[in-house]
Amino acid sequence: MIIFVGLRFFFQPQAAATGYGVPAKENGDSAYLTIKGLRDLVSGLIGLALLAFSDADAAAWFMVVVALTPLGDTVIVLRNGGTKAVAFGIHAATAAVVLISAALLFAA
């Protein structure tokens, strides 16, 4: 999923930023939107590589660490005028799903 979010930041940056919870300025934010897209794309690809070529514990530890990203995104949205619904409904919920997935991988 995060791979598609990253790609959206490349092809529809303004819409992706709005979906993130902090709409971008019409000018001046293009580099940051590209950075966000690249970060998400690479994170997703690393996760896929670990799932495909590593053991479940390595993938689980990756997911535990990666959960820091949506937790940080929650704070970023709240500090920059985004709604609590987006901050918690998208970003904090994503962190919870990632951590649950990590727990399932540890149990595998």
Half-sphere exposure of 63 (CA within 13 A, CB side): 24
Give the chain's domain count.
Answer: 1
**Domain with 98 in it:** 2-107
Work out the end-to-end distance of the chain between its first and last CA atoms, rounded to an integer number of angstroms. Answer: 22
Phi, psi angle pair for 44, to nearest 5°:
-65, -40
Which residues make Cβ contacts (< 8 Å) with residue 6, sequence separation at least 6? 36, 37, 38, 39, 40, 41, 42, 43, 44
Residue 94 CA to residue 57 CA, distance in Å, equals 20
Each residue's pLDDT tens digit, 38-74: 999 999 999 999 999 999 999 999 999 999 999 999 9
pLDDT for residue 30 is more than 90: no
Amino acid found at 73: D
pTM for this model (two decimals): 0.87
